[in-house]
Structure 1
Amino acid sequence: MKRTKSCRICRYYEPDENFCAVAPNYIGKAHLCADFELGIELDEEEEPIDLKTFTYEQFSKAFLEKLLSPYGKVETERTLTIPPSPDIDLWFAPRVSELPQDLGLLARLAKTRALLEPYHHPVTPDEISASLIKLLEVQGEFHRAADREKDSVGLDLPRLWILGSSISEETLEGFGAEASTKEETGIYVMAPAFKTGLVAIDELPNSKETLWLRLLGRGKVRHQAILELVALPAHHSLRSVSLELFYNLLSSLEALPEKDDEDCLLIELLRSCQVEDS
């Protein structure tokens, strides 16, 4: 099947020359989509991207990158070595022995090398399966590197954390995921060999420990977390950078051609926060 470089948002492309028609060298030839992304290869028959999902998930990745980048190597959309596998949403390799306690639960999830896969919508079994494939391919890269160096003793393989706004009980049971502890809600783990955990954000308790993950939730969960974020002391190290990302999200949401009630409520809340914060 022919593939061509095109705008990921509006899918405009130049079929005769196989380049992205909105690339800087060709700005005179094409109308610029407001939120175009260059250099994305798409099958001609592929459905256009869901702009709303794209907006929320780009925010989630940018948010996690901003929080974690001071403490290790962060890669978003990391490409796997075996095509045509989809990219990893976010890869994190810590360069410090311990992340700040201010990051709460997120610090615990990112204490070792990990793939982080955030989902704004309820996670489906197919999405979990796709994430597991990514994990296995990354682990395969580690095994191959160890074989080349003839050093596979004590190989520290990365983990996978799937962060979902919600995860159904049926889906959890289907993958044999169980609560990590009786004391914690919203955190599930698969059998140890899978090195995979799942976070159901809507089940997390309202606490400082979970704040940074609840900000990736949706509906009332995210709204409550945003109010807690705004209430943090003005000098808090993560308050201003987090609010800046939310205000960027506000601009993106306002530009959406179609908005549902949840989007409108979030826009209203963020506008109010922006006024109070100015």
Structure 2
Amino acid sequence: MSTKPHDQFAKQFLEELLAPLGEVRTNQEVRDETRFVDVLFTPAPQAHDLNLGLLGRIALMNTALLEPFRNQPSATEIRNCFLKLFAVIANAQRKAKREKRRLAEDGLARLWIISPSVSETLLVNFEFKLDLENWPSGVYIFQKGFRGAIVAVNELPVTAETLWLRILGRGETQRQAVSELLALPESNSLRQNTLRLITNWRIISIQQTDNLTEDDRELIMNLSQAYQQWEETTIQQGVQQERRQVVENLLRYRFGSVDEEMSRVVDSLLRLSPEDFTPLCLQLTREELLSMF
């Protein structure tokens, strides 16, 4: 029971006015259902952007609730996302109160709804608006105090900055992003990790073919190009590894071991065909090989 005079008066006042119109319950406990945030991210104190572009900027602002949708969310789904945000903020505020510290407004969590597209009706109904001075096209900000935004993936500019969000799009938007992903240098760790993730996901999905929806099939189709390139690269790497093993075995047969100097010779020999490198390994002395390569 509240002990604050205003609260107590307000409850009694509203009860008195509303009682003739229906049932009024004061101090009624409300048990909300358990809610799960798709991705709740809290940046480390010293974290810095690892070339994630717009996604990195979003994540590093402060705690972020990321809610990606395969199809445009309904009004109810958007409201449910905000309920999750408010629950996260309330938990943070209770924790700060227990620890007797002040929680700044700018430190509160933010909600980022990621949608493949956003209709004009939805934008109007929720009053999402562009803020082109601070954010690129496609990022619509909700009223400031609510700390939420929706990202229309298909409206994002086609740049390296938005690549990692556009991969979550649909149709041509997603296919274009996958092509850009494949065009990144093979040494790019984000590229390799993403391709590995796509491959694992696709293998698992293919095993569940009977349960795939049309959305699932579209996603598999869009990601197939990435999977095929990964498969081809893996095969090539396997062949190259087998050839390296053959060369090293030949050199061990001749010289007993492959030290650091001979390892550099191996790299050079691998540029030759098996017909060319085999006689060299079997006929030349160690000194001749080192001199040649």
Fold conserved (TM > 0.5)?
yes
Q: Is the 8 A contact 2:93 2:103 kept in 1?
A: no
Which protein has the larger Cα radius of gyration, Structure 1 or Structure 2?
Answer: 2
Offset at 1:169? 1.4
Post-superposition CA distance 1:108-131 (Å, at most 9, x none):
101111111111111221111000
SS in 2 for 1:199: strand
Unaligned runs of at least 5 residues, structure 1: 1-81
Partner of 1:15: none
Choose which of 256, 261, 276 in structure 1 pairs with 2:209. Answer: 256
Choose which of 113, 122, 127 in structure 2 pairs with 1:171. Answer: 122
Choose which of 100, 107, 110 in structure 1 pairs with 2:56. Answer: 107
Partner of 1:158: 109
Partners in 1 of 2:158 and 2:176 — Cα distance?
8
Amino acid at match of 1:199: V
Partner of 1:35: none
Which moves more between the two structures, 167-176 or 186-195? 167-176
TM-score w.r.t. length of structure 2: 0.62
SS in 2 for 1:173: helix
1:196 and 2:148 aligned: yes
Q: CA RMSD in A?
A: 2.1
Offset at 1:153? 5.3
Post-superposition CA distance 1:196-226 (Å, at most 9, x none):
0111111111110000001111111111111
Q: Which has the higher contact order (CA 8 A, sep 6+)?
A: 1
Unaligned runs of at least 5 residues, structure 2: 1-30, 235-293
Partner of 2:266: none
Q: Is the 8 A contact 1:116 1:161 kept in 2?
A: yes
User: Which structure carries more helix by proportion?
Assistant: 2
Offset at 1:271? 4.0
Amino acid at match of 1:213: L
TM-score w.r.t. length of structure 1: 0.65
User: Identity over aligned residues, as a percent?
Assistant: 34
Choose which of 54, 78, 86 in structure 2 pairs with 1:128. Answer: 78
Partners in 2 of 1:263 and 1:106 — Cα distance?
21
Choose which of 236, 240, 243 in structure 1 pairs with 2:192. Answer: 240
Partners in 2 of 1:267 and 1:188 — Cα distance?
27
Q: 1:43-192 alignment to 2 at 5 Å?
A: 84-100=33-49, 102-111=51-60, 112-152=62-102, 154-155=104-105, 156-181=107-132, 184-192=136-144
Partner of 1:77: none
Amino acid at match of 1:89: D
